[in-house]
Amino acid sequence: MNKTELIDAVSAKSGLTKADTDRAFKAMVEAVTEALAKGDQV
C-alpha cells in the first residue's frame, strides 16, 4: 500500500475528505518525526 492508497482507505473509512485526510497524515508524520528526533519513543 502506498501513501495515496492509504489516504484513500482512511478517507473512505473516516468520512473525511481526501484533502483533510492528507493534512492529518502529514501532521502525524511530522509529529512522529519530531518526537523521534528528540529521542522520544513512538
- Whether 29 maps to a domain, the answer reads yes
Q: Which domain holds residue 21?
A: 3-37
pLDDT at 9: 98
Does 12 fall in a domain? yes
What average pLDDT does this structure show over 23-31?
Answer: 98
Residue 13 lies in a domain: yes
User: What gap in Å lies between CA 33 and CA 25, rounded to an integer?
Assistant: 12
The string of DSSP codes covering 1-42 is --HHHHHHHHHHHH---HHHHHHHHHHHHHHHHHHHHTT---
pTM of the predicted structure, to 2 decimals = 0.83
**pLDDT classification of 28: cutoffs 50, 70, 90:** very high
Please tell me the total count of domains within the chain: 1
